[in-house]
Structure 1
Amino acid sequence: MQRFEFCYAFVLPVALLIGALLRPCLLSLLYGIYLLLWPLFASGCKQGASGSTFRFVVVCFLYSSLALLSQVCYHVVLTVSSLDAQLVTCHGWEPILSLLGFQKVQGGGVVEYVRFFLPDILVFTVTLCSIVLARMSARVPANDESPELPMHSLNSKPHSPGSPQPREATSRRNTSLIVPDTLDFRSCMPQLILGLLFCSIAVIFPCMWTLPYFVFFLLLMTLWSVYKVPSPGAARTLVVLLLLYSSVNLVALYLYQLWPLQTQIPPEDLAARLLGFKAYINATCTEAPGLHFAGGVSWSAYAYPVLVFAFYLSLAFQSFLVSVRCSILGAALVHPTYPTYLALLVSARACSSSSHLPILIVSLRRFVKCMDYLVWRHAVVGHSIL
């Protein structure tokens, strides 16, 4: 199971990112959307071939196989028929086909073929390997996995003799999803990172798209300064809204790199500058092959989508941390002599709900304690649970 988790957590997002950026078109836009959905399905890695993560990988595999097959068929038809002579560059159906992702290779040679086929081949290979690893892990006997307690036992509240009451650990728990309610540096770290990303996005490239980020930044910092903690329901709603808004922001920036939007709203127009649409790629149709990057783009314009993507991941990737925390918690309950047993047990009820979006910002302090447990078990037992 660990190989499938490693492939999903590290290899698949890199493949999806390359597939979305290497060949800007509508076919590759789906790879970017899958990349945005990737952290939201990470909590089902432990379920193997029967979980939502596996089904998400299967969807990516089917789409990449269809995209690869369509690319092969298109270029084969261009080679064996007279369609190549009928498709004139920048005329007729050729701009529409290039918008979809089916482009003619003229003078680019091997480099252009690699740019056209590598995204689909890479995603197809990675998803196929992930499916094979998940199927192989399903055949491994259950005793090979790290022991975990059933979920109903996690909801109980056992007390070991000589240990402090769980109420003491609960009183130091960060109860807010957005605003920290303690002054401990490690427990405030996720909120500090989000605050810096809020401020950076709003300040580095001022426009209408970044205005809500700055408003949320002022709101959250005001709540933090007066020591007010929003209710869990309001915090969860705010997290979901920010996830949706930042994902729509990234998709809108990607769509603006295609020729229809750049034709209707040129980058030098007031509307484009007011909305924050920046042309990183010159989508004007030309005879020259390859990607043509726009000139005169400042470093802050390049940092803008990077910061938005980092902000999105800082929210959405917390669901993967929740799944890791729950799996480590199940193994930690087997060894009640470990000093952080009760501290981990406090979070068991949150794991039992296993909701993806409501629990997105997890306290970094308890995750560090889980990592401390890994070091402790490696030193005492002689092997790591990972």
Structure 2
Amino acid sequence: MVAVFIKIILYRVISPACLIFAALIRPSLLSLLYALLALLNPLFPRIRASYPLSTPTKVYLTLIVLATLCTSICQLVYQIAEHVITPEDSTYIEECKAGTDGWRYWLRQFGFTRVPSHEPLGFRFMLPEIVALISSLATLVICLTKHESTDLNETVQTSQSHNSGSHRFTRSRSHPGGFSTITALKPSFQRLSDILLTFYTLFMGIIQPSILNSFYFFMFLFLLTWYALYTPITRRMFNNVKFILIFYSGLHLLLIYTYQIQVSKDFLQPDHLVARLLGFTDLARSEACETWWQFKFNSYWTSYVNYIALWIYFFCAVAQFNWTRTGIRNFGDRDGDGASSDHEELLASVPDIEVQGPNSFPLQRITSQLLDRQKISVIFRRPGEKETTTTEGLTAITFFFLHHSYVFQLIAMMTWALLYHSVFGLIFLFLACILWALRDSRKWCFRISPIMLAYVEILLIFQYIYSLDLIAGKELPVYSGLEIIGFQQAGSRSAAFLTLGVKSILSLPFFVILRLFLRERFYDSLSEHDRRKRLNYGTFGTPPVNREPALHVQDVHTGTEGTSPFFKSVTKFLTKFWLFLVAFVLLVNALSSPPVDYTAGYLVLFCVLIILLHISFRFFRNVVFIFWTLLIIYSSIILLAVYTYQFPSIPKLWQDKTNLTSDDFAKIGLVDYQDEHSSSLLFVRLLLPILLVLVTMLQLKFFHDPWTKLVQTPSQSRATSAAETESEESKLFFHPVLIPRNG
């Protein structure tokens, strides 16, 4: 008797690994059979400890043994006949050079290649049959043996007791204490595997841009666009997408493998336009006739990574599909919900609760932010448990970043413009400066998110086209005007991969912002009944007695009040010292080398800041907001001017319009760094103003108001508190409809 896990390792790991190894070391039609058998392995039933080996699995393992046995016999017969007909290797080499071995050419395509007499490396021509036969035979023999301590009668009794006890198990599931840590974390790991598979799909799409790989890239855009549109992705739909990806990756893998056979390369040369468009690369070929047993690797590294990653992708996709195909169910989910969705799939099962009491707040004040924070709080605690200091802090931090996620979009826009100088980047930079300067940046980022996402997806698609393996000027239009706009071909396969990867990562905040915008609009359109229902969704139980309110409505917009002491301490620390960080970055811009007119302007602004601070602290506190605003406007103008001056014909146009020479513009700080071949200096000239705009905006958006309250005098603090209390009481007076704070 053999342990079940040993059978599983042989069946699922060793056997397919040996078949893949046999296929890789000798590309041929016989090895293509090994590759096909390896790809079929995940499609057959798994081995279970409580059941004997299934019939389909027996047939599959037997088929592998018969196939490898037949190929081994044929290989042995050929080698004997080859060495009998042509005893000397020199005769074989001469016929190969003369081209009179046409029959040997076709035998080589099937995998029958002569093993050299005095070269150990040539043994690889017979190694595939040996490895495949031994591994398949060992797997079949061991898997056909009885399981260790297997008793079918005991199995039946176990199944019956399991069925009879299913009701008791179902009842125990509703109790929070009846779950292990693994059970509680399993849904999170399953969702994480969905995310990782999605990004693995992106990797497969950009590692070697081609028509065949573009399917993965567009499938990634499809999934993220569907996610951004705030449309539920049902488990059935996601399973269909995974099934399509699995089928396509298997077919893609077989096509690439088939192209490695010499007859395929002779029919379609690797440097042909069709081969380069499809992504067919010559990974390895045999050397000259004198050394036919040696391999020559003659392709770029992305081709090999693409080939290896494709094998891994297929098996990972199948394993992930089998793990999540029945749905992702939380430990608090109710039975009977077979079709899982990525969000709000259990909302219909939430009971209606209408309670009024001391921990209630006005229904009209239930906003989308409040609902978001309520859902986030459920992530870090079990149903019915009281929130701790740690969970409150994690909830506040997560909500803070979620609520202010538009900041990441603006940073991504400025980073895109900094890394890729073009008209497209100028549009990003201009919009980022405008959106930063608006009073309610979040609202406007959300409103224009559909247009921005469409713009980003168009840029990604055009970038993918210009990353294909095409000859510039001949097969791909390349003009100076197109390069200025942003249609620039990648200089190499590595550059194509890195450019697509960076731009794809920078595009992620745009998908998130559109989803948040549509979700907030959906939440705000809900009726009173649906708002109450969604507020209580996720609690799945009666709150404990004397439970403190975990969520305060007045804290929704900041996410800092009423949270853990650690989060309060961090917020207070940043509020105190962020102003000094802004002053430090301003000083760095002022002292940057070489000194020019606009850096002198930064020095003047820094001196003004010090003078304002010395005049009167109260006066400084009243005018510092205006100072930060002027600093942002000045930095934005400098940033746009330096960025625009790098475009061809712009320097000459400005010189003609202003009657200034290039030296005059250089004194101002406007230099055409591309003509001087100093892209690193351009990066610094753009990076420093961008950092200044960023830290100053963070000061205005997040730390200015808390800093103003922090430096208030005691009399002003009491007046502010009284005004806030009066405003809060007036709101409660005019909103008598109450619902429970904790559900």
AA aligned to 1:69 is I
Q: Where does residue 61 of structure 2 map in the other structure?
A: 57
Alpha-carbon distance between aligned partners in 2 of 1:304 and 1:161, rounded to the nearest angstrom: 46
Distance 1:203 1:160, change over 3 A: closer
Distance 1:161 1:265, change over 3 A: closer
**In the alignment, structure 1 residue 98 sits paired with structure 2 residue 100:** no
Gaps of 5+ in 1: 170-183, 326-339, 351-386
Higher relative contact order (CA 8 A, sep 6+): 1
| Helix, strand or coil at the partner of 2:44 | helix
Whether the 8 Å contact between 1:43 and 1:322 is mirrored in structure 2 is no
| Helix, strand or coil at the partner of 1:293 | strand
Deviations 1:342-383 (A, max 9, x none): 789969989xxxxxxxxxxxxxxxxxxxxxxxxxxxxxxxxx
| Helix, strand or coil at the partner of 1:128 | helix
1:126 to 126, 132, 135: 135
Q: Where does residue 201 of structure 2 map in the other structure?
A: 198
AA aligned to 1:79 is H
Q: Where does residue 381 of structure 1 map in the other structure?
A: none
Q: Where does residue 301 of structure 2 map in the other structure?
A: 299
| Helix, strand or coil at the partner of 2:138 | helix
Q: Where does residue 12 of structure 1 map in the other structure?
A: 15
| Helix, strand or coil at the partner of 1:282 | strand
Deviations 1:90-136 (A, max 9, x none): 522011001101111235523212x1222211121122112221222
| Helix, strand or coil at the partner of 2:38 | helix
Alpha-carbon distance between aligned partners in 1 of 2:54 and 2:333, rounded to the nearest angstrom: 27
Deviations 1:231-252 (A, max 9, x none): 4443333222211111111111
1:77 to 67, 71, 81: 81
Distance 1:38 1:347, change over 3 A: farther
| Helix, strand or coil at the partner of 2:71 | helix
AA aligned to 1:117 is M
Deviations 1:69-93 (A, max 9, x none): 1111111222334698689335220
Deviations 1:146-171 (A, max 9, x none): 8884389559850359734399x9xx
Whether the 8 Å contact between 1:43 and 1:319 is mirrored in structure 2 is no
Q: Where does residue 362 of structure 1 map in the other structure?
A: none
AA aligned to 1:292 is F
| Helix, strand or coil at the partner of 2:233 | coil
Q: Where does residue 174 of structure 2 map in the other structure?
A: 165
Equivalences for residues 125-144 of structure 1 within 5 A: 125-137=134-146, 141-142=150-151
* Worse-superposed segment, 158-167 or 209-218: 158-167
Q: Where does residue 189 of structure 1 map in the other structure?
A: 192
* Worse-superposed segment, 83-92 or 104-113: 83-92
Alpha-carbon distance between aligned partners in 1 of 2:204 and 2:294, rounded to the nearest angstrom: 27
- Greater radius of gyration (CA): 2
**In the alignment, structure 1 residue 224 sits paired with structure 2 residue 227:** yes
Q: Where does residue 68 of structure 1 map in the other structure?
A: 72
Task: Kindly state the Cα deviation for residue 286 of structure 1 after the two structures are TM-superposed.
Answer: 2.9
RMSD: 3.8
Distance 1:27 1:216, change over 3 A: same
AA aligned to 1:131 is L
Gaps of 5+ in 2: 179-186, 340-743
**In the alignment, structure 1 residue 309 sits paired with structure 2 residue 311:** yes
Give the TM-score normalised by the residue count of structure 2. Answer: 0.38
Whether the 8 Å contact between 1:154 and 1:345 is mirrored in structure 2 is no
Whether the 8 Å contact between 1:48 and 1:54 is mirrored in structure 2 is no
Alpha-carbon distance between aligned partners in 1 of 2:139 and 2:301, rounded to the nearest angstrom: 37
1:281 to 273, 280, 284: 284
Alpha-carbon distance between aligned partners in 2 of 1:8 and 1:256, rounded to the nearest angstrom: 29
Alpha-carbon distance between aligned partners in 2 of 1:161 and 1:138, rounded to the nearest angstrom: 30
Give the TM-score normalised by the residue count of structure 1. Answer: 0.71
Q: Where does residue 546 of structure 2 map in the other structure?
A: none
Q: Identity of aligned pairs, percent?
A: 22
Alpha-carbon distance between aligned partners in 2 of 1:347 and 1:117, rounded to the nearest angstrom: 55
Alpha-carbon distance between aligned partners in 2 of 1:54 and 1:318, rounded to the nearest angstrom: 24
| Helix, strand or coil at the partner of 1:12 | helix
| Helix, strand or coil at the partner of 2:296 | coil
**In the alignment, structure 1 residue 261 sits paired with structure 2 residue 269:** no
Q: Where does residue 176 of structure 1 map in the other structure?
A: none
AA aligned to 2:103 is W
Whether the 8 Å contact between 1:272 and 1:278 is mirrored in structure 2 is yes
**In the alignment, structure 1 residue 213 sits paired with structure 2 residue 222:** no
Whether the 8 Å contact between 1:155 and 1:348 is mirrored in structure 2 is no
